[in-house]
């Protein structure tokens, strides 16, 4: 993902057979997504999955050691060292912040949680209107319309925090947002950044479904192979190609394909050729 200027990331646990112990251990699948279509980019979307035997922060730090740009992620502490220099810029996720208020509202029907959800919903309403516009246009609209809403929300959160018990779940939800305020509001002034990290979360869901079906990976090597296959299948889907057709197309050609032109078999390049053929046939 070193060629992307903004990457979304997330991770999910995966059971892995642990030989000799008669049970499974917990490995991790990480996803790194390039998808700037909401900001009118013509760069093809792509996703890269990586497997690790645990969730130590050293893994995403290794995966992204060559990355320079914006990293949109949750609050996992393992990402923190990446932000220490100036090469990687942190962008936080409003969906995570909203979820804490939503869970509280579902559990307790808290009117204060409902008010937080309403205010965050106003920010999302603006995003729906500007989806697909150029970054400069998105930034302008956000500064004019989301900026005052964000300022009012920050003031409301700070005032509400003084009213509630410091040990309450509501206080915890408020502190989560206020501590990350700079990263949460960075999208206001940079039209390349999304309001949330849902691009990565959407590409984690198929892993969760697969995990329910296959139960566990057979080994760490199996986890690595699964990550590679997931990468090809999910990237094909992002580029509107049927994964079965894509894999068949590649397997039929790869034995005789020049190694120095292997990039021609990447999903977005195959998609471009397929679209050209369709236009010529029309």
Q: Count CB neighbours of 143 within 10 A.
A: 14
pLDDT grade for 209, boundaries at 50, 70 and 90: confident
pLDDT at 277 (0 to 100): 59
pLDDT grade for 207, boundaries at 50, 70 and 90: confident
Q: Which of 2-11, 20-29, 45-54, 212-221 has the highest mean pLDDT?
A: 45-54
Q: Is the pLDDT of residue 183 over 60?
A: yes
Q: What CATH homologous superfamily does 6-90+199-238 map to? A: Ribonuclease H-like superfamily/Ribonuclease H (3.30.420.10)
Higher per-residue pLDDT: 129 or 85: 129
pLDDT grade for 86, boundaries at 50, 70 and 90: confident
Burial group, residue 167, by CB count within 10 angstroms (0-12, 13-18, 19+): exposed
pLDDT at 195 (0 to 100): 98
pLDDT, mean of residues 217-237: 92
Sketch the domain layout of the chain as residue ranges. Answer: 6-90+199-238, 94-193
């Amino acid at each position: 993902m070193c060629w992307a200027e903004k990457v979304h990331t997330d991770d999910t646990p995966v059971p892995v057979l642990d030989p000799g112990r008669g049970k499974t251990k917990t490995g991790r699948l990480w996803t790194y997504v390039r998808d700037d279509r909401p900001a009118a980019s013509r760069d093809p979307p792509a996703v890269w999955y990586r497997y690790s035997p645990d969730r130590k922060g050293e893994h995403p730090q290794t995966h992204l050691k060559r990355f320079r740009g914006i990293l949109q992620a949750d609050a996992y502490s393992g990402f923190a060292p990446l932000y220490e220099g100036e090469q990687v810029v942190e962008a936080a996720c409003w969906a995570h912040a909203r979820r804490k208020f939503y869970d509280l509202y579902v559990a307790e029907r808290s009117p204060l949680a409902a008010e937080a959800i309403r205010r965050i919903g106003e920010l999302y309403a603006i995003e729906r209107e500007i989806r697909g516009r150029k970054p400069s246009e998105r930034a302008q609209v956000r500064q004019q319309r989301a900026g005052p809403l964000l300022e009012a929300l920050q003031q409301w959160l700070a005032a509400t925090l003084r009213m509630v018990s410091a040990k309450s779940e509501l206080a915890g939800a408020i502190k989560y947002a206020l501590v990350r305020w700079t990263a949460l509001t960075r999208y206001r002034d940079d039209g390349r950044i999304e309001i949330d990290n849902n691009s990565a979360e959407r590409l984690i869901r198929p892993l969760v479904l697969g995990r329910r079906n296959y139960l566990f990976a057979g080994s760490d090597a199996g986890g690595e192979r699964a990550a590679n296959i997931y990468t090809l299948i999910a990237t094909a889907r992002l580029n509107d190609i049927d994964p079965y057709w894509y894999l068949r197309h590649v397997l039929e050609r790869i034995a005789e394909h020049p190694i120095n032109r292997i990039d021609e078999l990447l999903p977005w390049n195959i998609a471009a050729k397929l679209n050209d053929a369709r236009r010529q046939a029309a």
